[in-house]
Amino acid sequence: MKKLHRYLIGIFLTIISFSAFAAEGDPSGFSALLAGISSGVDTFFNTYFGWFVNLIFYSVPVGEAKFPLIVGWLFIAAIIFTFYFGFVQFRRSGLALSIVSGKFSDPNSKEDGEVSHFQALTTALSGTVGLGNIAGVGVAVAIGGPGATFWMIMCGLFGMASKFFECTLGVKYRTVLPSGAISGGPMYYLRDAMAERGFGGFGKVLAVGFALMCILGALGGGNMFQANQAHAMLTYAFDVPAEYGVITGVVLAALVFSVIVGGMPSIASVTEKVVPYMAALYLGMGIIVIVINASHIGAAFSAIFDGAFTGAGVVGGVIGAMIQGLKRATFSNEAGVGSAAIAHSAVKTKEPITEGLVATLEPFIDTVVICTMTALVITIAGLNVAPFDGAGLTGVQLTAASFSDSVGFFKYFLALAVIMFAFSTMISWSYYGLKAWTYLFGEGKAMEMIFKLIFCIFVVVGATIKFGAVIDFSDAAIFAMSIFNIIGLYFLMPIVKDELTSFVARVKSGEIKKYK
């Protein structure tokens, strides 16, 4: 039976590859079939998930624009958390840097498998650079104009408080499952911490709601969007026809399958090792483009600030620019969404606050530094002109074209980086999705396998589908997670405030020692 499966897969891949490229002389054959599949999947998503997208992005008219309530929900929460925790992201930034630089780590008590703080920082850095910084900024600036960048920066700065809050809770309320695996994240703190506060029943409802949305988010933003943009990058860099996305999808799905179904740690390790170099490569390319065009930096910043407060050329003016900036920044840094709390809960630490403080650095690096760099490159290149309605180049293609405008061969490096980022993000989100899945359906090989297979199928769907339907669904699913997460966070604010006060007091009294 196993042999038969292998033969079938081999025959399927061979037929696809030969047919695809044999179709050069027969555009009405295989190309038409793939275009039909793509169109069918797109129509399916519009028909069956359109209501979900409309519900999550329910908008109210503000001036000329329609303001999605969910965007305000996240931004206002970040502002409230910033004030409640006394601007922790700014006032305790020194402490966060001290933790990262290892000042609070006993050099003589390093445990097995414990990563150094430098490794922790590089992991965090590589985890923050992804398609949100490349494709997401491309979308924001294409639809929101250069002014969207300003609102992205604002979202990043305030979002640092949301990340601090949720990541602290993620570590504090993590749990050890019967298998011995560590599990944490909003599902657990919404259930357990809310029970501690006397809202056990409501907490369970929130936890289940979050887990459901997390599964959708994993399939949307964490999967389909990544596969879709990986193929879009190949289309831009090498003129690969868009309808051949199914081939990109099958290759990516096979690799993802081997990691998440096979559980080969060495493969995940290789990805973890390669991605920081890709992040460094992306940063290096951005810096080179900006330095080459140093004389345009002033004008680019002017366009960003003017656009933020005039909204010139943007549908919906200032509000339109703000909506795009906030949406794409949230998609990139995930602050308030709850996904980061799942990732951070696996860390080895006795003090949850330390992980919360380290996590504040991520939105800063991700959004304030890297997204701004991408936006500068796009603005400097000047390929994105008013009216900003997304009709021209958008997403990863706008970003790639802007990089290539200064240095032509950068598109090849960008293609490599995009594929690596897409792959590593899919692996990460498969983990988040699986955590949510096992929370709802329990641990068990059969149940886990169902999710993993669905996840792999969605990789192929994502690479095949048209951009509009993918990004709408991906956005809606990611933002839906924040609804349940943030409701719970409002109830849990005193817990983290007490934790922070206690930690700072113990640092000041010397109970928590500094070793450097």
Partner 1 sequence: MKIKDTPIDLNKAILQKGPKFRSHKVIFEENVADLKPTMSSLWFCLVYIVVGLFLLMLAAIVYHNKKQLDFTLFLGGIGIAILTFGITLVMPFVKQVTFDKDRGTFKNNIDRAVKLENIITFQILNKMVTSKHGLSYPCYELNMLTKNGRRINVLNHNDIEQLTSDAQMLAEFLDVELIDLQHEIIL
- Determine if 265 is a binding residue for partner 1 (CB under 8 A): yes
Spatial distance between the Cα atoms of 189 and 166, rounded to a whole number of angstroms: 9
H or E element that contains 317 = helix 317-333
- Decide whether 238 or 309 has the Cβ nearer to partner 1: 238
> How many C-beta atoms lie closer than 10 Å to residue 268's C-beta?
16
Restricting to residues 95-114, which ones interact with partner 1 according to CB under 8 A? 112-113
Quick one: tokens of 67? Answer: 């303001």
Kindly state whether residue 15 participates in binding partner 1, applying the rule CB under 8 A.
no
Distances (CA, A) of 348 to 8, 114, 493: 44, 7, 23
CB of 355 to partner 1, least distance (A): 10
Is residue 10 a contact point for partner 1 (CB under 8 A)?
Answer: yes
Write the CB contacts of 206 (distance below 8 Å, at least 6 apart in sequence).
190, 194, 484, 485, 487, 488
Q: What is the dihedral of CA 177, 182, 188, 189, to 10 degrees?
A: 140
262 is a contact residue toward partner 1 (CB under 8 A):
yes
How far apart (Å, rounded) are the C-alpha atoms in residues 248 and 121? 32
Say how far apart CA 463 and CA 466 lie, in whole Å.
Answer: 8
Applying CB under 8 A, which of residues 141, 153, 341, 347 lies at the interface with partner 1?
347
Contact region with partner 1 (CB under 8 A), list: 6-14, 327-335, 390-398, 470-478 = 6-14
- For the chain, how many helices (H) and strands (E)? 23, 4
Stretch that binds partner 1, among 142-150, 236-244, 457-465, 493-501 (CB under 8 A): 236-244
Question: Among 100-108, 255-263, 305-313, 381-389, which window interacts with partner 1 (CB under 8 A)?
Answer: 255-263
Q: Tell whether residue 346 is a contact of partner 1 (CB under 8 A).
A: yes
> What is the helix (H) or strand (E) element at residue 187, kind and residue range?
helix 186-196
d(CA 137, CA 325): 8
Q: Does 2 sit near partner 1 (CB under 8 A)?
A: yes
| Minimal distance, residue 73 CB to partner 1, in Å | 27
Does residue 179 touch partner 1 according to CB under 8 A? yes
261 binds partner 1 (CB under 8 A): yes
- Of the candidate residues 153, 343, 358, 487, the single one contacting partner 1 (CB under 8 A): 343
Partners of residue 388 on adjacent β-strands: 314
17 sits near partner 1 (criterion: CB under 8 A):
yes
Least distance from C-beta 18 to partner 1, angstroms?
A: 7
- Indicate whether 422 belongs to the interface with partner 1 (CB under 8 A): no
Among 11, 24, 27, 40, binds partner 1 (CB under 8 A): 24
Among residues 80, 52, 396, 330, the alpha carbon closest in space to that of 213 is found at 52
Residues lying near partner 1 in the complex (CB under 8 A) are found at 2, 9-10, 13-14, 17-18, 21-22, 24, 112-113, 123, 127, 174, 179-183, 237-240, 247, 251, 254-255, 257-258, 261-270, 272, 343-344, 346-348, 412, 415-416, 419, 424, 427-428, 431, 434
